[in-house]
Each structure stands twice: as C-alpha cells, then as structure tokens.
Amino acid sequence: MRSRSVFAAIASVLVLGLGTVAQADTVQRGCECATPSIDRLQQWLASGEGTTVPATGSLLVREGNRYAAKVTFLNAEWHVAVVWLGNKFEAQADLSRSSGFWMTYSATADLYVQLRPASHWSGGDKWLTLVPSTGGKMVRKFFSFSPRKWTSLPELGTPTYSFASALPEARGLVFVGKTANKLEFRGLEIDGYRPPCL
C-alpha cells in the first residue's frame, strides 16, 4: 500500500514537472522582445510615401500590456508601410520552407502586401497578394506563400524575378494601398521563422 502511494507521488511530480517544462517552453517561444514588438517584429515603419498618419517613423503604440501597429492612409494615392523581417534593413529571412503567415489586423479598405527580397528591394514592381478589408473589425487570417496566391499590378510594374526566388532572401513585408484606409496590426506570425530581437 505504501509503495503504491510513493509511486503515485513520484508519477504526479513527473507529470507536473513535464507540464511545467512544456509551459515554460511555450512562453519562451512566444516571448516578445525587450523593446516594443509584435510577434518579435520590432520595425513597423511609415516610409514617408503617400500621405499617412504617422508620416514617418514607428507605427508601434502600447495597447495595455502589448503593442499594436497603427497607421492611417489618407487621400487617393499610393501609400507604403514597412515591416523589416530581420528587425534591421540589412537583414534577410529565409522563408523558402515557410507555408505563409498568420496576420491579426483590421482594415477599413482593401490593400496589398508585397514580399520584397533584398536583391530587388526598391520600386513598386513586386509580387503581392490582396489584404482584404475587414470593415474595421479585428480578424486573424492566413496568407499563403503559394506562388499561385501572389501576383503583380500593371500599374506598379511586373517583377523581373520569380516569387520563389524572393522567399530565401526576404527583407520585408511592405503594405501598399491607393485608397484611404485605417489600419491596425496586432499579430504577424510567420510559419517556421522566429525573428531575432535586436
């Protein structure tokens, strides 16, 4: 009888220990950076292209104990907001094995997101995919890296490189839109990629 109770006590300690380890691992994998970030992405920037609020600089604002990225596009002109995937301009992320990304956001109008590689950073002629309006409601949506989901806009130009070739040298996700829009981002989790905190 005594040996059974000792065994049960040992078993419960092991279970609790494993549970604690698993929980700690989950917390560590999902932890934010020491400076403001969303899913470890620290550089959410208004580029100064198009009339936006803010006009330039960081989009990150504190929301309770977390951060959100907020930007408003004004007027009927092209606007640009940037996320550096490696948290500095010179960095690259190899997304060749990633299936895509989950984004938690709200938008009052449709816009696009471009995947810009380091070798073809400048200019509008990039592969992009639609980011549909949410009517101002916060939603969580998956965006696939399947090449069939990415296209180009004649107005911005046709990319001179393949979408597949951009994935191993991804420098940033660039949000572009030509209409007035109120945007807020609360999550951007890229499958298989953990941004380095700087």
Weakly modelled stretches of the chain, pLDDT under 50: 1-29
Q: In whole angstroms, what is the distance from residue 28 CA to residue 158 CA?
A: 41
Residues 146 and 173 in one domain: yes
Tell me whether residue 198 is in a domain: no
Residues 69 and 85 in one domain: yes
Tell me whether residue 47 is in a domain: yes
Residues 6 and 42 in one domain: no
Residues 121 and 132 in one domain: yes
Tell me whether residue 197 is in a domain: no
Q: Read off the amino acid at residue 89.
A: F
Residues 13 and 107 in one domain: no
Structure token pair of residue 39: 């899913």
Residues 80 and 152 in one domain: yes
Number of domains in the chain: 2
Tell me whether residue 73 is in a domain: yes
CATH code: domain of residue 112? 2.60.120.260
Answer for the pair 184, 68: CB distance below 8 angstroms, yes or no: yes
Burial of residue 51 (number of CB atoms within 10 Å: 0-12, 13-18, 19+)? middle
Amino acid 30: pLDDT:
55
Amino acid 31: pLDDT:
86
Q: In whole angstroms, what is the distance from residue 157 CA to residue 154 CA?
A: 5
Tell me whether residue 195 is in a domain: no
Amino acid 16: pLDDT:
34
Instruction: Give CA separation, 50 vs 43, 97, 153, in Å.
Output: 19, 34, 18
Domain containing 133: what range? Answer: 33-190
Residues 58 and 82 in one domain: yes
Q: In whole angstroms, what is the distance from residue 166 CA to residue 155 CA?
A: 21
